[in-house]
Amino acid sequence: MAVAGCPVCLLYVLVSAVDPRCPRCAAHVPVHNEPKKRPKFDLNSPTQLDDGVDDPN
């Protein structure tokens, strides 16, 4: 199950991923399986290059 916006009704509907049809108007509803959020990263976390040891070069 996925939540998607119906392009005909302009409503958010809960549709099946197998047959994504709007329950109100039976239009095909595009379902996106990929999340739009980017992975979080911490700017203050130590990196692989910053191991706390001074580089003599």
- Per-residue pLDDT 10s for the chain (57 aa) are 888 999 999 999 999 888 899 999 999 998 877 667 777 777 887 765 555 555 555
Q: Which residue in 3, 48, 46 sits closest to 22, CA to CA?
A: 3
State the pLDDT at residue 42: 78
Torsion of CA 12, 15, 20, 21, to 10 degrees: -70
State the pLDDT at residue 13: 93
Dihedral sign of CA atoms 16, 6, 12, 36 in order: positive
State the pLDDT at residue 54: 56
